[in-house]
Amino acid sequence: MLLREDIATPEDFLRPSPASDEDLLRVHTADWVHKLKTGTLTASEVMNWKCRIRRISRSGLACCRRNDSRGHSALRDGFGSNLSGGFHHAYPGHGEGFCAIHDVAVGIRKLQADGAVKKAMVVDTDVHHGNGTAAIFRNDPTVFTLSIHQESNYPAHKPPSSIDLNMADRADDEEYLAC
């Protein structure tokens, strides 16, 4: 659709390499990463994402920074979007809501570790609260989190973001945009 609507060109799409263990461990516990890599999740943790989730996790970073000749990046261009990611329910030590690895947090922590950014902001506009995002960056003054979501929707437990905009059920476009 992005190509059909002339919003993007084929050169704008990236195919990232898998995230390294070092990148994942900046956000997630060693136990959780090990379980994902070895397929030793408990029955309640079974998601078996392995390499696929590592590649998706890396795509969040790829949209922020590019090292190729085209040089497209959010750091250079002022905008980047990860169409396959946004796994905002993943916590450091477990996954929730079909989210095993928090791709945005991995990208932010990598950019911070490389000295590319000191501060970051996560603006989450999904219908669900970004509970993993809020938990990971809680008490971290270097990352501002905003979640705009349907208040009575998943998840039941919603750790506080820097700012939470709780929308009522059936809020229309006008209400949403007025936030």
Encoded amino acid at 34, one letter: H
**Strand 143-150 relative to strand 120-124: parallel, antiparallel, unpaired?**
parallel
Q: Where are the alpha helices (DSSP H) in 10-160?
A: 21-25, 30-38, 50-62, 74-77, 103-113, 131-137
Give the neighbor-by-neighbor strand order of the sheet with 143-150.
Answer: 120-124, 143-150, 163-167
Q: What angle do CA 94, 96, 98 make, to 5 degrees?
A: 120
Chain centroid, CA 81 distance in Å: 10
Which of 28, 88, 89, 149 is flagged as catalytic?
89
Is 89 a catalytic site residue?
A: yes
- Say how far apart CA 103 and CA 84 lie, in whole Å: 10
Supply the residues annotated as catalytic: 89
